[in-house]
């Protein structure tokens, strides 16, 4: 296959504004991933290309980017799912809504600030019965299972038009993380998290657009989890 890889590039130290660089790659296998193509560009064509990736197997969440207009992990995006036929173009951009540091690398700090704001850790100061384990039934564990799959890649938050419009919105990923603890029977700080999320920049900025659900590489039903948090605030 022949693939034209269009990469949105920007080096703030050199460029006045971002531009698309095109790289023509020959002998691409249908099962190659977009990450393989980016590696090829960086290793053999232009070493100045900047991108993040760590595990390269869909676990670490480092290489989320906008591919053909949809947020996904470059390491999970197969060429055969993006191009039909023997040749075609794949467009790669950094995620929207976060400041570009260079090329495909964005500043993740605002994302992690929102993450921290919902207290993404178990809060429980009482000593469990017997002083050992905090027991939980399989049903209680199942209640928050979806949220545990999140890898904090930011694909959901940076696909959200509400987040693009206003970066003070806590964003889908932080709400998913809050959901994971709010519905955990062992946790005792649900009220505090719901208080944060009932603020103007909390869950109410979600307009049920579903981009987050489409973008999630872990197939978490993000919009549904946000709706469950809204419902929980509504019931109080």
Partner 1 sequence: MTTTTKSVSQRDNKFETFMWRYMRWSGVLLVPLVFGHFAIMHVINSVADISYEWVITQRWSFVGWRIYDAFLLWFAGIHGFNGLRIAINDYVHGESLNRVLNILAVVLMVIVLFVGTAALVLAPTTPVTLPTG
Contact residues toward partner 1 (CB under 8 A) are 109, 113, 116-117, 119, 162, 165-166, 192, 194-196, 198-200, 202, 204-205, 230, 233-234, 236
Q: Which is nearer to partner 1, 22 or 107 (CB)?
A: 107
Q: Which is nearer to partner 1, 57 or 116 (CB)?
A: 116
What is the closest distance, in whole angstroms, from the C-beta atom of residue 52 to partner 1 in the complex?
16
Q: Which is nearer to partner 1, 2 or 192 (CB)?
A: 192
CA 112 to the chain's CA centroid: 11
**Residue 59: exposed, middle, or buried by beta-carbon count in 10 A (0-12, 13-18, 19+)?**
middle
What is the closest distance, in whole angstroms, from the C-beta atom of residue 166 to partner 1 in the complex?
5
Q: How far is residue 70 from each of residues 84, 94, 209, measured CA to CA in Å?
A: 17, 11, 14
Q: Are 199 and 234 in contact (CB under 8 A)?
A: no
What is the closest distance, in whole angstroms, from the C-beta atom of residue 122 to partner 1 in the complex?
16
What is the closest distance, in whole angstroms, from the C-beta atom of residue 186 to partner 1 in the complex?
20
Q: Which is nearer to partner 1, 77 or 189 (CB)?
A: 189
Q: Are 88 and 82 in contact (CB under 8 A)?
A: yes
**Residue 60: exposed, middle, or buried by beta-carbon count in 10 A (0-12, 13-18, 19+)?**
middle
What tokens does 126 get?
């009482």
Q: Which is nearer to partner 1, 89 or 198 (CB)?
A: 198
What is the closest distance, in whole angstroms, from the C-beta atom of residue 199 to partner 1 in the complex?
5
Q: Are 99 and 167 in contact (CB under 8 A)?
A: no
| Integer Cα distance of 236 and 234 in angstroms | 6
């Amino acid at each position: 296959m022949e693939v034209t890889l269009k990469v949105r590039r920007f080096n703030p130290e050199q460029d006045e504004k971002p531009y698309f660089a095109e790289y023509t790659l020959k002998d691409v296998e249908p099962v190659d991933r977009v990450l393989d193509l980016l590696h090829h560009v960086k290793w053999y064509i232009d070493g100045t290309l900047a991108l993040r990736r760590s595990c390269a197997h869909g676990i670490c969440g480092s290489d989320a980017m906008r591919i053909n207009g949809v947020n996904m992990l470059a390491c999970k995006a197969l060429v055969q799912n993006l191009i039909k036929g023997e040749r075609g173009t794949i467009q790669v951009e950094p995620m929207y809504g976060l400041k570009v540091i260079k090329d495909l690398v964005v500043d993740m700090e605002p994302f992690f600030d929102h993450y921290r704001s919902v207290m993404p850790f178990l809060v429980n100061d009482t000593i469990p019965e017997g002083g050992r384990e905090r027991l939980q039934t399989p049903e209680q564990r199942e209640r928050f299972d979806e949220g545990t799959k999140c890898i904090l890649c930011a694909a959901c938050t940076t696909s959200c038009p509400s987040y693009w419009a206003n970066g003070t919105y806590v964003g889908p990923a932080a709400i998913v993380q809050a959901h994971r603890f709010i519905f955990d029977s062992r946790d005792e700080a649900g009220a505090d998290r719901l208080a944060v999320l009932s603020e103007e920049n909390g869950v109410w900025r979600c307009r049920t657009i579903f981009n987050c659900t489409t973008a999630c590489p872990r197939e978490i039903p993000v919009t549904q989890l946000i709706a469950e948090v809204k419902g929980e605030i509504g019931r109080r």
